[in-house]
Amino acid sequence: MPVVPGRHELRLLFENTVSKEFAKVERDVIVPPAGEFGLSSVLLARKAFRAAPPPGGPSRAFQIGDVQLYPLGGRAAPEKERIFLFFQILNPPPTISAAGRIEAEILKDGGSVLRVAAPVSRFAESGNVLLELPTEVLPAGSYRLRAAIREADGREAASAETPLEIAAEPGPPTWVIAQKTPPPYDPYYAYALGIQGLELGEAEAALPLLGRAHANDARNVDYGLGYARALLARKEPAKARAVLLRFTDREPGNSALWKTLGRAAADEADFRNAAAWFERASALEPRAVDILNALGDCRLALGDAAAAAEAWAKSLALDPGQEEIRKKLSAIK
């Protein structure tokens, strides 16, 4: 999940390998800037309770601080049952912590049909708001749930909304299978921050983070690849190659390893090794046009125009819209 502040779009694509049907889920994920007052996204759960987090160790799936949630699948709640509302108050000013009010309201056709309120002070210490909603009184249908924080004088200071479906025949309860959250000292966090820095084009900031993750777990190929990518962005291909060569015996089937080694060798004008490594990557990912394009560049640099044309022709067959590759191919025919 993103840890860099901003609005992110999360897309999940599921394939039924038997019927070849696909299902897609898209969600916005908002990571607020540090220190800014606001509300988190609203989560709905069929079951929730207070649970002491394991001291200093990994927490359970959907445990946030001292709150354990069993979330609603598809935001659909069963008819004639209560549900739970959870959100976090982020960096509340002292006036709101002391005298602010929380309001949770369920709306239907623009009108309020159910309202629950509580003082902010009840949750000020942890910032984790958990409210039980008496939705058993609502008939099946589509609703919207709105959570708001109000000042002592009633003015609205922040709010968040989510759709809610009350279903007469809901689906089965959600099952949760997830890895435990790594403890705070785990190098994964430096790796995650570093990779997102790279994606944002901030190689200078990403390099020490990815270097730290790799130094803490030098056998992890993902950390090694991340560190090598940062080194390549800093124009240090020899160091990137040295990092990656340690993994070749243990990761022969890792196409990203061979592709990144190919990039490092090409950046050093070692086109013979670069072509060999891109060929290994292409054998593992035959439909990856970026690998085929890089392979064609290396073969042309080695003076083998026919082999370059072969790689680029394969790439164009997979993605005909590549005008630059089409020009390269035309230039050598």
Query: Is the residue at 176 inside a domain?
Result: no
Q: What is the mean pLDDT of the chain?
A: 90
Query: Is the residue at 26 inside a domain?
Result: yes
Within this chain, do residues 161 and 291 fall inside the same structural domain, yes or no?
A: no
Within this chain, do residues 202 and 324 fall inside the same structural domain, yes or no?
A: yes
Within this chain, do residues 14 and 105 fall inside the same structural domain, yes or no?
A: no
Which pLDDT score, from 0 to 100, does residue 182 have? 76
In the predicted model, what is the mean pLDDT of residues 43-59? 76
More confident residue, 95 or 66: 95
pLDDT in tens, 169-182: 877 776 666 566 67
The confidence band for 1, taking pLDDT boundaries of 50, 70 and 90, is: low
Within this chain, do residues 202 and 278 fall inside the same structural domain, yes or no?
A: yes
Within this chain, do residues 155 and 198 fall inside the same structural domain, yes or no?
A: no
Closest to 194 in 3D by CA, of 185, 176, 206, 208: 206
Query: Is the residue at 58 inside a domain?
Result: yes
Query: Is the residue at 136 inside a domain?
Result: yes
The confidence band for 49, taking pLDDT boundaries of 50, 70 and 90, is: confident
**Pairwise CA distance, residues 112 & 119, whole Å:** 20
Percentage with pLDDT > 70 across the chain: 94
Within this chain, do residues 209 and 325 fall inside the same structural domain, yes or no?
A: yes
* Domain assignment of residue 135, given as a range: 43-167
Query: Is the residue at 229 inside a domain?
Result: yes
DSSP 146-170: EEEEE-TTS-EEEEEEEEEEEESS-
Which pLDDT score, from 0 to 100, does residue 214 have? 97
pTM: 0.59
Within this chain, do residues 20 and 111 fall inside the same structural domain, yes or no?
A: no
Examine the fold and report which residue of 112, 138, 167 is the final residue of a domain before the chain moves on: 167
Query: Is the residue at 179 inside a domain?
Result: no
How many structural domains comprise the chain? 3
Within this chain, do residues 203 and 288 fall inside the same structural domain, yes or no?
A: yes
Within this chain, do residues 85 and 106 fall inside the same structural domain, yes or no?
A: yes
Within this chain, do residues 23 and 47 fall inside the same structural domain, yes or no?
A: no
Query: Is the residue at 177 inside a domain?
Result: no
